[in-house]
Amino acid sequence: MRAGIEIAEPVRDRGIDLVAYVDLDSAIGKFLARPIQLKANWQTGFAFDRKYEKFHDLIVAIAYVWNLDDPTRTVTYALTWPEICGLAGECGWAWEAGGRWAITRPGKDLTSRLGSG
């Protein structure tokens, strides 16, 4: 993999879809792994759930892959939990019942904030 980062799939689904890891990081001299939650949509969608707050060591909390129906338009966004919460605050979103945020058709304001605008 690129930059020496490997990807593993957990055997059980406990809220994490993938684990990115480096066998032996030369800078710190030890094994390093971080969980990734993957959200993929045929078109677009932005959703996240408070249940992911419990993963304190997330580097990438959620990776969103949009426009799977058209490979020429496919885009990926990777955000940490603090980035997601900051974005939600900037957009004025409130938690829905059950501790979730969801937007099925993100507008230009959101995509601009994500960096594709």
pTM value > 0.85: no
Q: What is the mean pLDDT of residues 99-113?
A: 82
Q: What is the mean pLDDT of residues 30-36?
A: 81
Q: How far apart are CA 50 and CA 95, in angstroms?
A: 9
What domain count does the chain have?
1
Q: Average per-residue pLDDT in the chain?
A: 79
Q: How far apart are CA 117 and CA 107, in angstroms?
A: 10
25: part of which helix (H) or strand (E)? Answer: strand 18-25
Say which CATH number the domain at 37 has. Answer: 3.40.1350
- pLDDT grade for 58, boundaries at 50, 70 and 90: low
As a whole-number percent, the residues of the chain with pLDDT over 90 amount to 1
Q: What's the domain range around 51?
A: 2-114
* Token digits of residue 18: 């993938």
**Is the Cβ–Cβ distance between 9 and 26 less than 8 Å?**
no
